[in-house]
């Protein structure tokens, strides 16, 4: 089993920045990719960013490309999401997810473990 705990959400003004963290514990060595997804009120959960834990390959949703950066620290079993130039449309609950299946799938249903989420609110 893998446990994921997110931190770093909060309230920020449009154009501001926020950094999220996700710490993995348990069988963290089995994680192949870690990613961030988000869910806005009344909308489905959507992919934001993904990183391969071994080789550092990164993937981003078009809506955040150039503004968000995902990174990881394998020694700390932690993945980060640096969010810059935040927009009102970025308001959502952000979830950390981990895949132990060995693929670079960006689909939410491919993820094996989920955190409880952290709320990000961007005020206009």
The pLDDT value given to residue 124: 83
pLDDT tens string 48-106:
999 999 889 999 999 999 999 999 999 999 999 999 999 999 999 999 999 998 888 89
* 70-73-78 Cα angle (round to 5): 80
Question: How many angstroms separate the CA atoms of 2 and 15, rounded?
Answer: 34
- 4 pLDDT tier (thresholds 50, 70, 90): very high
pLDDT tens string 33-64:
999 999 999 999 999 999 999 889 999 999 99
Contacts of 28 (CB under 8 A, 6+ apart): 2, 77
The pLDDT value given to residue 55: 87
């Amino acid at each position: 089993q893998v446990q994921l705990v997110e931190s770093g959400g909060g309230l920020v003004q449009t154009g501001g920045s926020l950094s999220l963290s996700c710490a993995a514990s348990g069988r963290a060595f089995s994680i192949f990719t870690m990613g961030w997804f988000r869910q806005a009120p009344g909308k489905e959960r959507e992919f934001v960013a993904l990183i391969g834990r071994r080789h550092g390959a990164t993937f981003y949703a078009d809506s955040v490309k150039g503004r968000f950066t995902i990174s990881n620290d394998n020694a700390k079993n932690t993945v980060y999401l640096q969010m810059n130039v935040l927009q009102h449309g970025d308001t959502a609950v952000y979830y950390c997810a981990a895949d132990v299946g060995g693929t670079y799938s960006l689909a939410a249903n491919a993820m094996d473990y989920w955190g409880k989420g952290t709320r990000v609110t961007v005020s206009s």
